[in-house]
């Protein structure tokens, strides 16, 4: 599989190393070059410095057509935006965003991206160790809806041509133009 | 109207102030406690010193009864999330986001943000108004300088696109004689349909250029937002 990882922190670097060693095609991005020091010298994938919320950067990095997109920077919102960009503009249907706020994690699963909430995962792990019940907080959530509310086919109207007036031809074009 | 402003920078601060002066109910969220305290000292207890990206605090700020949420922090990703949470989680009827990177506009609009304000785009637009973007290109002067060979690059908005020369009101003393399409020059016949991206080569006297400009280039980009 081709796997794109945004954020080369502990989670990102470990995931990159793991998937690389299991024979997957890994591209990892971080806005700070020093972050790549976390990767082992044996890492055989691509490490690219750049902002994972910038479509041009993702395209240049070769992220288009990836099978999996994993946004694990330390900023919840950056992860949300990167994953939605991957999903909508690059057509990567399996986009996962790390979101530590349980409310946002649940909300974004309903809006079409898979979410990963450390708060819920950790509490569940602790509770399991203590033989207590589940936390009832979101842990790993699969997408359960779409931001349009109706489409689930993974196609993106963002990649469709834009009309000459600049209005999106997608189904969410009922918006007011600025300027 | 109840307006929830998220982000207490210069934009958020003045926005809140103006809205209050106009008689609206305003709540301002600013996560930096010191900055929040400063604003509260100046404009009163409408400030909530919490992160407006966090669902819990948006709820506490009364997001569910807001008529408008304006996300005006300096970070595009924060503004996107604030608007999406407001829209989808709290059913706010109108969301406005400040967008710093103009490239994010399409994505934000696509993801349901109602209105986008891009300072970058506005300044860019203002600068570009002064630059003639679409012009006739003067290739060569002939004879006594009365006649010129002119190139018109047909870009989106050109009234000539989709039409043939015989459909246009080509001024007297002027002739469209060739078209360069994908790098290949061919004669332009009266019934050749002109396409976007075509470079039309014309010969004419200097008087007819205004009319030629209107036919091939179109009006200035004034209304093209």
Query: B205: which 2 tokens?
Result: 């006297």
Q: Does the residue B132 lie in any domain?
A: no
How far are the Cα atoms of A41, A101, B192 from residue B164, in angstroms, in the given order? 63, 59, 5
The answer to whether the Cβ–Cβ distance between B224 and A104 falls below 8 Å is: no
ipTM above 0.85, yes or no: no
Across chain A, mean pLDDT equals 85
- Nearest CA to CA, how far is A77 from chain B (Å)? 5
Q: Say whether both B98 and B158 belong to one domain.
A: no
Q: Say whether both B118 and B24 belong to one domain.
A: yes
**For position A149, what pLDDT does the model report?**
59
Number of domains in chain B: 2
* Residue range(s) defining the domain that contains residue B172: 137-218
**For position A159, what pLDDT does the model report?**
52
Q: Say whether both B195 and B145 belong to one domain.
A: yes
Q: Say whether both B84 and B150 belong to one domain.
A: no
When CB atoms are compared, the residue of B77, B115, B224 closest to A176 is: B115
Average pLDDT over residues A9-18: 96
- According to DSSP, residue B197 is labeled T
The answer to whether the Cβ–Cβ distance between A172 and B110 falls below 8 Å is: yes
**For position A87, what pLDDT does the model report?**
93
Q: Say whether both B212 and B115 belong to one domain.
A: no
Q: Mean pLDDT, consecutive 10-residue segments, chain B of 225 residues?
A: 96 95 96 95 92 91 96 95 94 95 90 91 75 69 77 86 88 88 90 90 84 79 42
Q: Say whether both B103 and B163 belong to one domain.
A: no
Domain boundary among B127, B161, B186: B127
CATH number at residue B145: 3.30.70.1450
Q: Say whether both B90 and B108 belong to one domain.
A: yes
Q: Does the residue B223 lie in any domain?
A: no
Residues of B with CB below 8 A from A158's CB?
Answer: 106-107, 110
Domain boundary among B127, B161, B181: B127
How far are the Cα atoms of B1, B19, B45, B56 from residue B23, in angstroms, in the given order? 8, 6, 16, 27
**For position A174, what pLDDT does the model report?**
36
Strand B184-187 relative to strand B47-48: parallel, antiparallel, unpaired?
unpaired
Q: Say whether both B114 and B183 belong to one domain.
A: no
Higher pLDDT, A178 or B167: B167
Q: Say whether both B91 and B172 belong to one domain.
A: no
pTM, rounded to two decimals: 0.69
Nearest CA in chain A to B156: A164
Q: Does the residue B224 lie in any domain?
A: no
Q: Say whether both B6 and B104 belong to one domain.
A: yes
Name the strand (E) or helix (H) holding B109: helix B105-110
Q: Does the residue B89 lie in any domain?
A: yes
**For position A84, what pLDDT does the model report?**
95
Measured CA to CA, the distance from residue A47 to residue B42 in angstroms comes to: 48
The answer to whether the Cβ–Cβ distance between B109 and A175 falls below 8 Å is: yes
- Nearest CA to CA, how far is B170 from chain A (Å)? 25
Q: What does the pLDDT look like over A138-175, one tens digit per residue?
A: 999 999 888 775 444 444 455 543 334 433 333 333 33
Q: What does the pLDDT look like over A45-62, one tens digit per residue?
A: 999 999 999 999 999 999
Residue A177 reports pLDDT greater than 90: no
CATH number at residue B107: 3.40.50.720
**For position A27, what pLDDT does the model report?**
97
Class of the CATH domain delimited by A2-159:
alpha beta
Domain boundary among B96, B127, B158: B127
Q: Say whether both B117 and B54 belong to one domain.
A: yes
Q: Say whether both B175 and B214 belong to one domain.
A: yes
Where do runs of H (alpha helix) occur along chain A? 10-21, 55-60, 76-88, 102-110, 118-129
């Amino acid at each position: 599989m081709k796997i794109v990882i945004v954020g080369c922190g502990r989670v990102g670097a470990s995931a990159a190393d793991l998937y690389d060693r299991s024979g997957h095609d890994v591209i990892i991005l971080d806005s700070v070059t020093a972050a790549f020091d976390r990767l082992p010298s044996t890492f055989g994938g691509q490490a690219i410095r750049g902002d994972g919320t910038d479509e041009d950067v993702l395209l240049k990095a070769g992220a288009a057509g990836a099978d999996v997109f994993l946004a694990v920077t330390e900023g919840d919102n950056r992860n949300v935006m990167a994953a939605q960009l991957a999903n909508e503009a690059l057509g990567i249907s399996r986009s996962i965003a790390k979101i530590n706020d349980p409310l946002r994690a649940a909300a974004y699963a309903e809006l079409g991206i898979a979410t990963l909430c450390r708060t819920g995962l950790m509490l569940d792990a602790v509770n399991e160790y203590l033989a207590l019940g589940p936390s009832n907080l979101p842990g790993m959530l699969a997408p359960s809806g779409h931001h349009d509310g109706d489409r689930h086919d993974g196609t993106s109207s963002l990649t469709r041509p834009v009309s000459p007036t600049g209005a999106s031809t997608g189904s969410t074009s009922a918006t007011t133009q600025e300027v | 109207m109840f307006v929830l402003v998220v982000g207490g920078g210069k934009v958020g601060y003045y926005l809140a102030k103006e809205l209050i002066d106009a008689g609206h109910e305003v709540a301002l969220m600013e996560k930096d406690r010191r900055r929040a305290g400063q604003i509260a000292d100046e404009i009163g207890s409408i400030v909530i010193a919490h992160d407006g990206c966090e669902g819990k605090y948006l709820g506490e700020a009364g997001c569910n009864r807001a008529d408008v949420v304006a996300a005006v922090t300096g970070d595009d990703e924060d503004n996107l999330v604030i608007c999406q949470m407001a829209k989808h989680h709290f059913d706010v009827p109108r969301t406005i986001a400040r967008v710093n990177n103009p490239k994010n506009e399409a994505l934000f609009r696509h993801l349901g943000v109602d209105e986008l304000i891009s300072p970058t785009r506005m300044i860019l637009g203002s600068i570009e108004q002064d630059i003639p973007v679409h012009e006739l290109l003067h290739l060569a002067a002939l004879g006594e300088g009365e006649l010129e060979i002119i190139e018109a690059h047909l870009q989106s908005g050109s009234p000539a696109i989709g039409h043939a020369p015989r459909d246009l009101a080509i001024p007297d003393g002027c002739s469209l004689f060739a078209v360069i399409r994908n790098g290949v020059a061919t004669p332009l016949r009266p019934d050749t349909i002109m396409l976007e991206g075509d470079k039309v080569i014309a010969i004419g006297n200097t008087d007819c250029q205004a009319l030629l400009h209107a036919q091939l280039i179109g009006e200035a980009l004034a209304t093209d937002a």
